[in-house]
Every structure is written in structure tokens, then in C-alpha cells.
Amino acid sequence: MTSTAPRNLAMIILVLSGMLGLLGPAHATGKRCQMNAIERSKCIIEAILADISRTYTQVGGGGISAIKQNSTTSFTVSIAQEERTDLLTYEATVDAKGKVSVRKIGEDTKSR
């Protein structure tokens, strides 16, 4: 192995374990985010996507069709299904150290 191989292996394990929900609840990213608006939105969206990967069971259909920021801390994710769109609304909090947590505050369905 080269000197970067252990580091690369550790990164792969970290990424895969996060994707599989092995690092604890998917609703908390555990990472610190830069606090400019773009970085904050990016961190919140990553936490939302982790929660959807862990909790959303209807994986048929067309996948995520939109992510809309409703306010600084509120986002709605649209997931296309056969004849409907599932709408998942999340509220996020960012603590003083930049740790992001999200919780689902609403689920709705829109017929097409």
C-alpha cells in the first residue's frame, strides 16, 4: 500500500458508513459548516438527503425532482412517483458551532 492508501480507505469507510446510516441518526450531519448562505444551504440539503436515504421507503418512480428552499431554515423536497409527487418538508437548525440537524415537519402528496 502507498502512504495515501490508509487515508483513502478511511475516507471510503467514512462515506459508506454515513450513506448506510451507521454513524448514528441521519438527521444530524455531525460536521461543521461554513456559515455563508451557500454553505449553510448545502449542509442542510446534505442532511435532508441523508434522512431521505434512511427513511423514505417508496423508492420507485422518478426520484427527486426538486429541492426548494422556503426560508433560511425550511426546505421542501419533491419526489416524483407514478401519478403523484410526494412533498417532504424539513426544518433545520444550525447550532453555534455550525452543526446542522434536520427534522421532517410535513409530508404531503400532490396529484399530477
One digit per residue, pLDDT tens: the chain, 112 residues? Answer: 445 444 444 444 444 434 444 333 335 555 567 678 898 899 999 999 999 999 999 888 889 999 999 999 999 999 999 899 999 999 999 888 888 999 999 999 999 8
pTM of the complete model:
0.70
Quick check: is 76 in a domain? yes
- For 105, residues 6+ apart whose C-beta sits below 8 A from its C-beta are 74, 89, 90, 91
Quick check: is 106 in a domain? yes
Quick check: is 7 in a domain? no
Quick check: is 20 in a domain? no
Give 80-102 as a DSSP string: E-SSEEEEEEEEEEE-TT-EEEE
Cell 419533491 sits on residue: 78
Domain that holds residue 107: 27-111
For the chain, the domain total comes to 1
Dihedrals phi, psi of 65, to nearest 5 degrees: -105, -20
Quick check: is 14 in a domain? no
In the chain, which ranges are continuous DSSP H helix? 5-19, 37-55
Quick check: is 1 in a domain? no
Cell 454513524 sits on residue: 23
**Sign (positive or negative) of CA dihedral 28, 51, 63, 109:** negative
Any idea what the CATH number is for the domain that residue 72 is in? Answer: 3.10.450
